[in-house]
Amino acid sequence: MIRAEHLTKRFGHVTALDSVSVGIGEGVTLILGPNGGGKSTFLNLCAGTYRPTAGTVRVFGGDPWADERVRAKFGVSFDPPALPRHRTGREWLEFLAEIRGGSISGIVEAFSLGGFLDRRISTYSAGMAKRLSIASAFVGTPELVLLDEPLANLDFDAIPEIAGLLRHFASEGISMVVVSHIWKPFVEFADRAVVIAGGKVKLDGSVEEVVSALNLI
Q: Predicted confidence band at 212 (pLDDT cuts at 50, 70, 90)?
A: confident
Confidence grade of residue 217 (pLDDT, cut at 50, 70, 90): very low
Q: Identify whether the C-beta of residue 32 lies closer than 8 Å to the C-beta of residue 22.
A: no
pLDDT digits (tens, 9 = 90+) for 158-204: 999 999 999 999 999 999 999 998 888 998 899 999 999 999 999 99
Predicted pLDDT at 216: 60
| pTM of the predicted structure, to 2 decimals | 0.94
What are the structural domains of the chain?
2-213 (3.40.50.300)
Mean pLDDT (the chain) is: 94
pLDDT tens for each residue of 63-121: 999 998 999 899 999 999 999 999 999 999 999 999 888 889 999 999 999 999 999 99
- Identify the bridge partners of residue 119 per DSSP, sorted by sequence position: none
**Mean predicted confidence (pLDDT) in 26-45:** 95
| Averaged pLDDT for residues 15-28 | 97
Q: Are the C-beta atoms of residues 191 and 206 closer than 8 Å to each other?
A: yes
Q: How far is the C-alpha of 47 from the C-alpha of 59, rounded, in Å?
A: 9
> Running DSSP on this structure, what letter comes out for residue 36?
T
pLDDT attached to residue 101: 85
Q: Distance between CA 39 and CA 201 in Å, rounded?
A: 10
Q: What angle do CA 194, 198, 202 make, to 5 degrees?
A: 35
Rounded mean pLDDT of 14-21?
97
CA terminus-to-terminus distance, the chain:
30
Rounded mean pLDDT, 24-29: 96
Report yes or no: 152 and 3 within 8 Å, Cβ to Cβ. Answer: no
Residue 38 has a pLDDT of: 95
Tell me what pLDDT residue 141 has: 83
Q: What is the pLDDT of residue 102?
A: 84
In angstroms, rounded to a whole number, what is the distance separating the alpha carbons of residues 139 and 106? 9
Q: Note the pLDDT of residue 63.
A: 97
* pLDDT at position 26 over 90: yes
